[in-house]
Amino acid sequence: MCLGDWPSRPPQNKSSGEIICRCRTRKSNVRSRHGFQNNQVVPTTICRVVLARVPPNCQRFRRLDSKATGFKLSGALTGVFVTALVLVPSTAQKFIAIGPFNVNGGTLVFPLTFIINAVLTEVYGYARARRVIWTGLACQVFAALTYWIVGLWPAAPFWHDQAAFMAVLGVAPRIALASLTAYFCGEFANSVILSKMKFAQGGKTGLTQAWRFAASSFIGQFIDTSVFMAVAFAGALAATDLVKTGLTIWLVKVLYGVVALPLSTRFANWAKRVEGIDHLDAPGATNYSPFPALFKDSQSRGADKKS
């Protein structure tokens, strides 16, 4: 919440509920441009962020403007996120056996997007995770359109694998719509739930952090699977088969997430140390709308003023 490292909880204005932040400059023989001697406590900006309950370990958190740059890991995480999304349609064409379960190959890849989304929200906050979700959606649409155009283009006379190409990379419009809709609903649910749980839990780590990673993923995956099965196969499969198949896919994804919990939580905490950021979304200061162009949250407004 407060920019700077405080040895104790920062002072609070009792009348307005605002958190007052101060910064301590480093020792130097040079006078500051404001005329203060260095190593003095200089009043700075009043953060109009926390107008609600403040976690007792507030000094650990540093807020992040949604347009901030210069982070070491966010670009790589976004790249892996998008790559996993683009791989799903092609890997989903093959069904594989995992013990008693028969699932498509995309089930091995797609849960990675929920894990990376959780890490992005945990480290950088909801606003930045939202931008990555939209980036992934745009890349999915671009990939689908590319496969569709290439599939419609007349083949070379010597090439006789058009049927195989369409079987693997050709996507029916209904399946494409189901996939995009499910992705949109599931990923945003995952990010919003984790963001709100982190604030409610005071940003605690350990088992508490693992619980919010698991809960947000379970609910997000359930929404994703339910929407996809309903849009893609409603009317094409019997109701019992629809439910059984959907539950099987969801359970495999849940198991995937549980097994990955020790790695995902440790990676998130490591990323916080590397980036020097641990963003906490305050409900009164964060607009959870998926459409930032229509409703800008406080992070975006703050970034706009600085730019």
* pLDDT tens per residue, range 216-246: 999 999 999 999 999 988 888 888 888 988 8
- 39, 21 Cβ separation under 8 angstroms: no
Stated as kind and residue range, the H or E segment containing 96 is: strand 95-98
The residues spanned by each domain of the chain are 1-60, 70-306
Check residue 295 and give its pLDDT. Answer: 56
Check residue 227 and give its pLDDT. Answer: 94
* pLDDT tens per residue, range 143-175: 999 989 999 999 999 998 988 888 888 877 888
Kindly state the tokens that stand for 95. Answer: 């069904």
Nearest to 7 by CA among 43, 55, 59: 59
According to the CATH classification, is domain 70-306 in 1.10.1760?
yes
- H-assigned helices in 102-172: 106-109, 111-124, 126-152, 162-169
Check residue 282 and give its pLDDT. Answer: 87
pLDDT-above-70 percentage for the chain: 72
Stated as kind and residue range, the H or E segment containing 263 is: helix 239-275
Check residue 64 and give its pLDDT. Answer: 54
Check residue 121 and give its pLDDT. Answer: 96
* Residue 13 backbone zone (phi > 0: left; psi -120 to 50: alpha; other: beta): beta
Residue 64: exposure state from Cβ atoms within 10 A (0-12, 13-18, ≥19):
buried
Nearest to 181 by CA among 140, 128, 241, 210: 140
Q: Rounded CA gap, 151 and 145, in Å?
A: 10
Kindly state the tokens that stand for 30. Answer: 């040079």
